[in-house]
Amino acid sequence: MFTRIVNALLYQGLAVRVNQNQQSRTIPALYAIIASMNQYNFDDNYGENHPVDTIYSVSQLNGEAKVLLESNFPSIWVEGEISNLARPSSGHIYFSLKDDSAQVRCAMFRGNNQRLRFNPEHGMLVKVHARVSLYPGRGDFQLIVDSMEKAGTGALQQAYERLKQKLHSEGLFDSEHKQKWPKIPQQIGVITSPTGAALRDILSVLKRRFPLTPVILYPTPVQGEGSGAKIAHAINTAGQRNECDVLILSRGGGSLEDLWAFNEEVVARAIFNCHIPLICGVGHEVDFTIADFVADERAPTPSAAAELITPDQNTLHQQLRLTAQTLIAKMKGLLETPQQRIDWLERRLAQRHPGQWLSQQQQRLLELKQRLANAQRNIQRHCNERAIALKKRAMQQNPRYQLQHWRSQQQSLSSRLYLACQQQLKSAKQRFQHASHNLGTVSPLATLGRGYAIVTQANSNQVISDAATVQTGSEIDARLSQGSLRCKVLRQTLKQP
């Protein structure tokens, strides 16, 4: 059972070089893994004779597998060719190591890759010192690399360098063979996959920068077996049809294997023999192919290739506006200079003409006449104002005027005195009425007016307030509001204590 597990792990991509120095460390580690796994009774009939009692979650399964690998497998040296190299902004390096039949994922973190004495590249043959691990998030078997050394050049990289050297010696890369394309192409040809993202990027850039230029697509596969010959055929077809001013050869990024069709000799020679200027925009900025060196111009990306061969419509509009403004300014300058000369001559002629002198003198005469009339009006107005002022002063000194003034003052004072007396009388009358009202409120007469009477002794006029002080048969006087009565007491009603 263990043998099958180990073989499965190795099949996933662990290409281990075990030499005499490493064998003493690697073989005991394998036995350690066997010993640690024996506790689970992984025999050939495990699934038949031992029902599974424990149900693992995926996270638990990956976590235990990771612990098992990291705790029982030693740090090892692995040799292989770099592929799928990635350098994210975090500073880590992610890549795959491969040989002819397998590959394994690798991760080298920033703290370790800062000690590298070379720059890893696609296709480079390297030796890495790493520990075996497993990434639980995806269940991927991987190597955690702590150091890396060069081990030579990979097979693809060697083939790439041989072809590059061969074509360079034949002069296919020489600058004298490079062709120029028109600044404003009338028609653009694109050689790429009709379903790839590169075509969408190119069309998006062309629509944004210069949508007037028509585009012809020469579809071809850009990856896989036989794709090199098909790319060369598409280039030859575009050259034979001769319907474009410039061609773009492009595809998206990828590994050295993904881009290998653009490193084939048949593609390089088709580009060199093409009489139409060809721009190569393959991969990303860090990707270099043989096609880049043979093409008339290399662009780092497909989008950059589209920008390289087309003008920006906004820039063209601005240039046209500036050119139109410059042309209008120059035309105005050419027309204004003779017109200014004519105007100057007309002014000189007008200044020296006798009619102009007579007109000036006539205008001067009119101005003097106007000034004289204005002076006369001003003198007359001043004299009138002076006469009015003197007349006013003479009237003020006249005794009649003074008597009239004093009479007016006397009348004003009399009127004010009369108004003051009336006001005082009115105020005194109001105070008297108020006092009378208050006095009437407390007067006994007011009480009599409501039906009451004041009773007094008939002889002494002494007010009677108690019935006990009056004898039966005596006479009393009752004073009313209107008149009085002489009354005789018939009966007494005393108040009970």
Q: What is the structure's pLDDT at 56?
A: 87
- CATH code for the domain defined by 158-173+188-311: 3.40.50.280
- Compute the distance between CA of residue 79 and CA of residue 95 in angstroms, rounded to an integer: 13
* Assigned fold of 2-153: OB fold (Dihydrolipoamide Acetyltransferase, E2P) (2.40.50)
Span 216-263, pLDDT tens digits: 999 999 988 899 999 999 999 999 999 999 999 999 887 777 888 999
CATH 3.40.50.280 segments of the chain: 158-173+188-311
Q: What is the structure's pLDDT at 53?
A: 67
Q: What is the structure's pLDDT at 281?
A: 92
Q: Is the pLDDT of residue 192 over 70?
A: yes
In terms of average pLDDT, the best of 43-47, 148-152, 303-307, 486-490 is 303-307
Q: What is the structure's pLDDT at 443?
A: 72
Q: 215 Cβ partners below 8 Å, 6+ apart?
A: 187, 188, 189, 190, 202, 203, 206
Q: What is the structure's pLDDT at 497?
A: 61
The least confident of 312-316, 449-453, 473-477 is 449-453
- Residue 260: which of 379, 163, 138 has the closest Cα? 163
- Residue 207: which of 320, 307, 276 has the closest Cα? 307
Q: Span 178-205, mean pLDDT?
A: 92
Q: What is the structure's pLDDT at 41?
A: 47
Q: Span 399-426, mean pLDDT?
A: 87
Question: How does residue 335 score in pLDDT terms, banded at 50, 70 and 90?
Answer: confident
As a whole number, the mean pLDDT across the chain is 82
Q: pTM of the predicted model, to two decimals?
A: 0.44
Q: What is the structure's pLDDT at 228?
A: 92
Q: Is the pLDDT of residue 161 over 70?
A: yes
Span 14-65, pLDDT tens digits: 333 333 334 333 444 444 444 444 444 444 444 444 445 678 898 888 888 8
The least confident of 186-195, 292-301, 338-347 is 338-347
CATH 2.40.50.140 segments of the chain: 2-153
Question: How does residue 154 score in pLDDT terms, banded at 50, 70 and 90?
Answer: low
The least confident of 79-88, 255-264, 297-306 is 255-264
- Residue 76: which of 127, 150, 129, 133 has the closest Cα? 129
Q: Span 1-26, mean pLDDT?
A: 40
- Compute the distance between CA of residue 98 and CA of residue 105 in angstroms, rounded to an integer: 9
3-class SS letters over the chain: CHHHHHHHHHHCCCCECCCHHHHHHHHHHHHHHHHHHHCCCCCCCHHHHCCCCCCCCHHHHHHHHHHHHHHHCCCEEEEEEEEEEECCCCCCEEEEEECCCCEEEEEECHHHHCCCCCCCCCCEEEEEEEEEEEECCCCEEEEEEEEEEEEEECHHHHHHHHHHHHHHHCCCCCHHHCCCCCCCCCCEEEEECCCCHHHHHHHHHHHHHCCCCCEEEEECCCCCCCHHHHHHHHHHHHHHHCCCCEEEEEECCCCCCCCHHHHCHHHHHHHHHCCCCEEEEECCCCCCCHHHHHCCEECCCHHHHHHHHCCCHHHHHHHHHHHHHHHHHHHHHHHHHHHHHHHHHHHHHHHHCHHHHHHHHHHHHHHHHHHHHHHHHHHHHHHHHHHHHHHHHHHHHCHHHHHHHHHHHHHHHHHHHHHHHHHHHHHHHHHHHHHHHHHHHHCHHHHHCCCCCEEEECCCCCECCCHHHCCCCCEEEEECCCCEEEEECCCCCCCCC
